[in-house]
Amino acid sequence: MTTDRAAARNLGGPPAAAALLDAATRLAATLPVTPSVAFIRVGDDPASESYVRGKAKKAAELGLHSHVHALPADTTQADLHALIGTLNADHGVHGVLLQLPLPAHLNADAALACIDPRKDVDGLHPVSAGLLWQGQPGLRPCTPAGVMALLDHYQLPVAGQHAVIVGRSALVGRPLAGLLLNADATVTVAHRATPDLGAVTRRADLLIVAAGQAHLITPDMVRPGATVIDVGINRVPTDTGKARLTGDVHPDVAAVAGALTPVPGGVGPMTVAQLMMNTVQAAQNQAAQNQTAHDQAAQMQADQSNGASGELLR
């Protein structure tokens, strides 16, 4: 029997996402340029088309510029890299996002590595990962950073908490571990080879699940009062034959947890909101770098001019 989810505090994504989008809009208004992001989509995957369309729509709502580069499914690796290189060199483009997955014949890691780290608004470039793990400023992967923004919005503690992450993907689990460590949490990462998963998850003050397996986490695996963040999005069949969305956490966990994100309507909205913030921050960083370069060039020219004047006075 499914218990009432209202027993746990509902950590809805829309209010937190709205606050993050408002912050991005206010930051964008202070910049000397309009932030601009380029989306690259390869092939005709319906899900990818929908995701990119939604991201472009959100950018337009915020007054950001965006352009979708839709490439055919038979695009070569060389042609994909060439487009990325063109966007890297375009000073009017502040962010570049390569929509995944790519067709099987393309190497996603190689393509992601071609993106200028300054424009890596998805936070997946190796340089972005290195900056994260060194605790240095940089662009962060959208879903993990969105989780951190959600925790901050609801004023849930992170520092000093034992955080357990179930899932070690490069998209969520690994970067989220770095973000939590940087926020002074004690972090355990569990995965498919972890023995007695429940014994590990029951120790968590903060349990974040991103395993891609519907209802993997059941009430007996959760410490009473724990904060549970469900990143999973799974499509499961119903009696009517239609699929419904559900998370990696069983709904009955609501009777045990102190706070729980719903699926859908939890972490999902945070991912797109964080992408918008990343785009604005990338534009801010590049504008500052351009101003510094301009000031240095002007100073160099002034120094050369003063040197030439001194020679004439001699």
* 171-175-24 Cα angle (round to 5): 85
Please tell me the distance from the alpha carbon of residue 74 to that of residue 106, in angstroms, as a whole number: 9
Please tell me the distance from the alpha carbon of residue 23 to that of residue 122, in angstroms, as a whole number: 18
CA 124 to chain centre: 9
Cβ atoms of 87 and 93 closer than 8 Å:
yes
Please tell me the distance from the alpha carbon of residue 174 to that of residue 129, in angstroms, as a whole number: 9
In degrees and rounded to multiples of 5, residue 229 shows phi and psi of -110, 115
Residues counted in the chain: 314
Catalytic residue annotation: 55, 99, 122
- Structure-token pair, residue 289: 């770098």
- Structure-token pair, residue 78: 């060389």
Judged by DSSP in three states, 66 sits in strand
